[in-house]
Amino acid sequence: MLELQSLSIDQYGFIGNVFSFGLAVMASTTLFLWLMMSSAAPTYRMAITISGLVTAIAAYHYLQIMLSWDGAASVASGEVVVSGEGFNRAYRYVDWLLTVPLLLVELILVMKLSKAETLSRSIRLGGAAALMIVLGYPGEVAGNVGTRAIFWILSMIPFIYIVRELVIGLKESISKQPDNVKGLISKAAILVVASWAFYPIVYLLPLLGVTGGSAIVVVETGYTIADIMAKAVFGLLIFVIAIRKSEAEADVNAVEAAPAEQASPVKKGS
């Protein structure tokens, strides 16, 4: 377990600024998504609503993380003094338990699959994501390397399943999407995989013997960057996909509703 007393004053302040930046990004993204939601067709507004909900939940938890960080230690006499309250790392896992399944659901919703496929994929991917988070938490708070290693291995099982589904399982469904969003949806799936790759890597640091103030900086900064990419950037990508699909469908509807120019000739009266 990483100890706060090993932090220098600069490291302590830097992590506080990282949390503040995370809060600002999540809050501003939430406002943008919800205020601009009406720009998309009604079919895709649920996906945008969930995207904003994800960043709103994250913003709340980053506020709590900041408050816990400020309460866990303070700067006095030129050094970081631990208060004894402890830094609550559970806030991240509560956040991930709520937001990670929703991330996958918003991707499924914006693809506008059949009701049966939407429900099936949402349950399977959302359930696997929740299981991944639940299995990761005991190792995060464990005081010994062995326990951390065991739960890292266990949490990687649903993680690998999710990666497989995003990279391979959705390939056929993505191929059926409009041409103007196929690439974006593929990039959204890749973004999820790439940003989530931060978590198991950062999780491994204590197993590799990386400790001290530098380790705390890497862990908290790495988690925050991964959160921003997986929630805020991903949410904005979902918004762009929804807008493009809305525009494409509006164009199709306009063509279908337009009066036929080649109307049958009007018969003249006798």
Cα 159-92-167 angle, rounded to 5 deg = 25
Handedness of CA 27, 31, 32, 38 (dihedral sign): positive
- Residue 83 — very low, low, confident or very high, per pLDDT cuts 50/70/90? confident
pLDDT reported for residue 204: 78
> What stretches of 73-144 show up as alpha helix (H) in DSSP?
90-111, 115-140
Name the percent of the chain lying above pLDDT 70: 90
Gap between the Cα atoms of 208 and 205, Å rounded: 5
Indicate whether 168 pLDDT > 90: no
Q: Are 5 and 210 in contact (CB under 8 A)?
A: no
Conformational region of residue 210, where left means phi above 0, alpha means psi within -120 to 50, and beta covers everything else: beta
Neighbours of 234 (CB within 10 A): 24
Indicate whether 140 pLDDT > 90: no
- Give the least confident one: 28-42, 138-152, 192-206, 253-267: 253-267
Q: Which residues contact 169 (CB under 8 A, 6 or more apart)?
A: 121
pLDDT reported for residue 73: 85
- State both tokens at 96: 């991930």
Q: For the segment 16-75, what is each residue's pLDDT rounded down to a tens digit?
A: 999 999 999 999 999 999 999 999 999 999 999 999 999 999 999 999 999 999 988 888
pLDDT reported for residue 270: 44
Q: For the segment 107-135, what is each residue's pLDDT rounded down to a tens digit?
A: 999 988 888 998 999 999 999 999 999 99
Conformational region of residue 134, where left means phi above 0, alpha means psi within -120 to 50, and beta covers everything else: alpha
What rounded mean pLDDT belongs to the chain? 86
pLDDT reported for residue 171: 83
Distances (CA, A) of 134 to 47, 102, 206, 237: 25, 15, 19, 27
- For the domain covering 4-245, report its CATH number: 1.20.1070.10
Instruction: Look up the pTM and report it.
Output: 0.87
Conformational region of residue 114, where left means phi above 0, alpha means psi within -120 to 50, and beta covers everything else: beta
